[in-house]
Structure 1
Amino acid sequence: MTKLYAVVAITKHGTAIARQLQEKMADVDVYYPEKFARGDESSRDIKVFSGSVVQHVPTLFASYSGLIGIFSLGAMVRLIAPLLRDKKTDPAVVVIDDRAEHVISVLSGHLGGANDLTHRVAHALGARPVITTASDVGQTVAVDLLGRAYGWSIENFENVTPVSAAVVNEERILIVQEAGETDWWPYSQPLPGYISVLHSIEDAKQQPFDAALLITPRLLSAEEAQTFLQRGVLYRPKVVVLGVGCNRGTEAAEIEQVIAETLQKVGLSILSVRNLATIDRKADEPGLLEVCQRNNWPLVTYTAEELNQVPIPNPSETVFKYVGTYGVCEPAARLSSGAEDWIVEKVRSGNVTVSVCLVPHQKGGSL
């Protein structure tokens, strides 16, 4: 299981298509029956199998990000039906007919990437992609994919299905974007007329709507949640950068507690944290590394010289004495985020200092 996708053929024609696909796509492993072996399988790293494909599909389904079957749609449905668990975890599944005329997205079209994979495979084979997802066919907002390319997370995934229905049924959709990347619209034509975009939740309170998409790092008030999330989806863009300093040997639990308390006080969601930033001398700090690993946050580091290039409101002679810079958390947050100012200047608690900046993104534009 060395590649992202498994290509499985069961016929003579399908075997030829699988070999062709391997030549065009570097991220596929190919499997077909040993009775169609041509003798070069070992050199091409092609896997041949004996017996029925039924015996092998469960392992391939669980081991790869996507499964590409060169056989009928009905056969694929019967094979994978007992294996299905959840749309957030099931792999992409695609089928190709035995003449490579059509490539069909079967399962996990959005979250699993089957629709994109279908287009890639169809392009490689000169075939016709078949996509049945309503938002793709209608070229409208894909609620479960919005901002995914930028790492945005959905806080209330249980609302995705009803809001998606509102979108494809062309009800009044309100998008409120307070932060994050603004070039998320993937099509060349303008947004449909039933979708409105605002950049202030205060303005949004005056706008009638049937379903809402909120893009913000803020913790919502009870009133805002009641108004917008009854039939709304809350996205957390990765726009919060945390500058962190700590004494050597500080435990991960203490660092996490200071981070959580700091974000809570200023009303920012921890789900919107993009990364931590600090001085390069802390690149091997066990507590910091553990915090980053637990939360899947990158750790960005800067030299003392780089940090000293940033004017800061709370310079410290003591910090300079020990690490050669007048501050760690404040300049690190500014440098990493590209922000002009801090949401939180240096906060000290125990062995930890934290500073918070927001990544600036241009609002408006074509949207």
Structure 2
Amino acid sequence: MKTAMITFTHHGLTQAQTIRKHRPDSPVYAPETLLETGSEAEKKQWQQEENLVFFASKEEQTSEGKIKRKIVERKTLHQWMPELMKKEEGLIFIGATGIALRFIKDHIHHKASDPAVLVMDEQGHHVISLLSGHLGKANELTLEIAEITGAQPVITTATDNRGITAIDQLAATYQAPLEDWETAKKWTAAMLIGEESLPVYSSEPLPLPLPAGYRQIETQEGFLEEGRGIWIGEVPSSLPSTVNLLQLIPRRWSLGIGCRKDQNPEELKTIVQAFLKEQGLSIKAIKNINTIKAKGEEPALLSLAKEWELPLQTFSVDKIGQVQHLFPASAWVEENMKVTSVSAPCAYLASGGGQVLPELRFAHNGVTLSLAPEAGKITVAGIGPGKGEHISGAVKKALGESQRIIGYKPYVDRLSPWLKKGQIQDRSFMRKEKDRCRHALACAARGEKVVLVSSGDAGVYGMAGLMLELREAEFPMIPFEILPGITAANAAASRLGAPLMQDYATISLSDHLIPWEAIENRIQKATESGFMLALYNPKSKERIQQWNRAVEIISALRDPKTPVGIVTKALNEGESIQLIPLEKLAEAQVDMNTTVIIGNEYTKITQDHLMVTARGYSL
């Protein structure tokens, strides 16, 4: 978000410089009178500072002789305001609210186009969302600046203070330009006075769950019975004209076009219109037009982009070549364009990896067409041992913002307190890891925000590695994030005391994916090297001999009195903890929910029955 800061005093400039540490590209506008009061050291610093602009107090004043510095253009702040209100996405005034109002009052037009405007006092006590709280994202920016500066955020929009998402805010979330402002205002006002939640029907997948105050209707028939509501997507011509609806069309589709040289512009437009109708999309749903670089000056494409007011983006042969293997190839295209496909790779690249439609190549009269929705995102979330207090805030936030939760059934069941009504919950069973990852990637390619759940830490025997392997092979552009969780070793160690204070090795005894010979070799080498050991998946009904062999190897190389901690269901219901010497490990009861931590020569059991490994400090 492009943001400029405007300040009027020395204290205000100090606040602006604090914010710039987190937003280094944000220009700062300050009065040139500061040049008269600043110290020599400050003047030298200001001279070297990028994006620091001093505005004149009066038009006739001159700054010559005060300081040698490059002035971008000498204007008063009143003269700067039209440009700032137009080019910046956000303005932060550091000073009095009244001053800010006087400067912006002649440049406010409509909430759909006005920038975010914030006001913060020069001492940094409060930061106020003053203008364009929703569409301009002033409320979001206010919270961000409050976190940076420690100021108290002040947000006054009624819907925010009531925990209601206004319709204009909902439209912005789904990238849908709002046209019927009167209906939106009327229905939002009704929600504020406590009327029933607003029905919503969507003819396309929603990337995010509906917020409080809205309820999703699954069928067109059910929507018609409601009598009014929000329709997301293209409205079929068969729908009765008497239906009281507010239509939102998400602008999230990238259109890929390949065409022959000197294509007739009107014919191209007719073909594209028919194609979009066949796909159930409006022209309003298209966010850009895309083609190969060699076609960037094709008159028919330029004409279409101009008429529909859409950007025409081009991609190089090299860029297309990186993803063309994902799509059906054309020998003619390869011979003439040096790539095997044009429309599908271009739509795919423009969308950030969205699922290309139609699956079968569309070609008509020398024109090929493809569509791809803006790709969603996968968050692979480590949920730790499972209890709520041990799940990170970042994971809880991701769960709340996602449309779909995918995971092993017991893990998803644990998350019910943080899941919202309307979220899709896809549960599956053991040994379906590849299915879960592919399903998550496919949903993200359709534009959904997806959380893929993993117990413990997703990057430690979890789902993160498999997801990234499949992403590279099949969905190479899907955005992703991996959120850490508490590992089984960390959870078990916390219940035993402090056993992992030196180098340790985690080894899974499951040979479902790794050959037992390799696992046995690792146990041998790690034990010989003096590592403490954290053993995962020690024994199952089918795997008994492996556990016995692991105990045999370790017992042959370590003192029989070496402390061993055994924790089953760490930090969970039914937890059990045992502290035993290594010589009794063969008799211990362990299963797939158990983590076994084996100490070394520095490990002891304290008088309080805690397992502690000395770090090496002199006491």
Q: TM-score range by the shorter chain?
A: 0.7 to 0.9
| Cα deviations by residue, 1:97-130 (Å, 9 ceiling, x for unpaired) | 1321000011111122211221122222110111
Aligned mates of 2:138, 2:369 — CA distance in 1? 41
For 1:269, give the aligned amino acid: S
1-structure distance, mates of 2:101, 2:113:
17
Aligned twin of 1:41? 46
Matched-pair identity in %: 26
Query: Which amino acid in structure 2 is aligned with residue 200 of structure 1?
Result: T
Matching residue within 277, 280, 283 for 1:270: 283
Is the partner of 1:249 in helix, strand or coil? coil
Determine helix, strand or coil for the equivalent of 1:261: helix
Compute the displacement of 1:33 (Å).
1.9
* Gapped regions of structure 1 (runs ≥ 5): 186-190
How far apart are residue 359 of structure 1 and its match? 7.6
Q: Is the 8 A contact 1:276 1:300 kept in 2?
A: no
Pick from 12, 15, 18 the counterpart of residue 14 of structure 1. 12
Q: Note the 1:58-97 alignment, pairs <5 A.
A: 58-59=81-82, 60-97=84-121
In the other structure, the counterpart of 1:181 is 206
**Could you say if the C-alpha distance between residues 195 and 148 of structure 1 is closer, same or farther in structure 2, counting changes exceeding 3 Å?**
closer
String of CA shifts for 1:136-155, please: whole Å, max 9, x gaps: 22222232132535533335
Cα deviation, residue 215, structure 1: 1.4
User: How has the CA–CA distance of structure 1 residues 80 and 247 changed in structure 2, closer, same or farther, with 3 Å as cutoff?
Assistant: same
Alpha-carbon distance between aligned partners in 2 of 1:6 and 1:276, rounded to the nearest angstrom: 31
Q: 1: CA distance between counterparts of 2:24 and 2:120?
A: 18
* Amino acid of the structure 2 residue aligned with 1:258: I
Q: Give the SS at the match of 1:77.
A: helix
Query: SS at the partner of 2:123?
Result: coil
Confirm or deny that 1:250 pairs with 2:269. Answer: no
C-alpha distance after superposition, 1:158-199 (max 9, x if no partner): 5332232233333221121221433255xxxxx43x531123
Residue number in structure 1 paired with 2:26: 28
Give 1:55's aligned amino acid: H
Q: State the partner residue of 1:137.
A: 161
Equivalent position to 1:146, from 170, 186, 195: 170
In structure 2, list runs of 5 or more residues that go unmatched.
59-75, 377-401, 406-419, 423-619
In the alignment, is the contact (CA less than 8 A) between 1:17 and 1:100 conserved in 2?
yes
1:55-84 superposed Cα distances (whole Å, 9 cap, x missing partner): 345343344222211222223223322222
Q: Structure 1 pair 50/240, CA: closer, same or farther in 2 (3 Å)?
A: closer
Matched position secondary structure for 2:46: coil
SS in 1 for 2:167: coil
Within 1, Cα distance between the matches of 2:328 and 2:32?
68
Given that 1:71 and 1:96 are in contact with CA atoms closer than 8 Å, whether structure 2 keeps it comes out as yes
1:189-228 superposed Cα distances (whole Å, 9 cap, x missing partner): xx43x5311233222223x36x522211x23436455314
Q: Which amino acid aligns with 1:20?
A: T
Letter in 2 for 1:354: L
The letter for the 2-side match of 1:33 is: P
Structure 2 contact 146–153 (Cα < 8 Å) conserved: yes
- In structure 2, the CA distance between the partners of 1:182 and 1:35, relative to structure 1 (3 Å rule), is same
The alpha-carbon deviation at position 245 of structure 1 amounts to 2.7
Instruction: Answer yes or no: is 1:221 the counterpart of 2:237.
Output: yes
Work out the CA distance in 2 between the residues paired with 1:317 and 1:14: 64
Cα deviation code 1:277-320 (max 9, x no counterpart): 666764665543564564136556875896576469xxx77667
Cα distance in 2 for partners of 1:26, 1:331 equals: 35
> Does 1:127 pair with 2:146?
no
Name the CA distance, whole Å, in 2 between partners of 1:177 and 1:318. Answer: 39
Distance 2:374 2:13 in 1: 49
Which residue, out of 39, 47, 50, partners 2:56? Answer: 50
Q: What is residue 188 of structure 1 aligned with on the other side?
A: none
- Cα separation, 2, equivalents of 1:323 and 1:93: 48
CA–CA distance in 2 between the matches of 1:70 and 1:13?
A: 9
Structure 1 position 197 matched with structure 2 position 216: yes
Three-state SS of the structure 2 residue aligned to 1:41 is helix
**1:243–1:276 CA contact under 8 A, matched in 2:** yes
Change (3 A) 1:284 1:140: same
Cα RMSD of the aligned pairs, angstroms, is: 3.8
Q: Which residue of 1 aligns with 2:355?
A: 338
Letter matched to residue 235 of structure 2: L
SS of equivalent to 1:88: coil
Q: Please give the alpha-carbon distance, in whole angstroms, between the structure 2 residues aligned to 1:304 and 1:54.
A: 50
Partner-residue secondary structure (3-state), 2:168: coil
Q: Which amino acid aligns with 1:203?
A: G
Taking structure 1 as reference, are residues 34 and 340 closer, same or farther at Cα in structure 2, changes over 3 Å only? closer
Give the AA of the match of 1:346: F
C-alpha separation in 2, matches of 1:291 and 1:133: 40
CA positional deviation for 1:247: 0.6
Judged with a 3 Å threshold, the aligned counterparts in structure 2 of structure 1 residues 267 and 57 are, in CA distance, closer, same or farther, namely: same
- The answer on whether the counterparts of 2:259 and 2:368 sit within 8 Å (CA) in structure 1 is yes
Measured at CA, do residues 226 and 35 of structure 1 come closer, stay the same or move farther in structure 2, by a change above 3 Å? Answer: same
Name which of structure 1's ranges 111-120 and 6-15 shifts more when overlaid on structure 2. 6-15
**SS of residue matched to 1:144:** helix
- Separation of aligned partners in 1, 2:54 and 2:369: 56
Contact 2:291 2:313 in 1 (8 A): no
| Residue 17 (structure 1) shift | 2.0
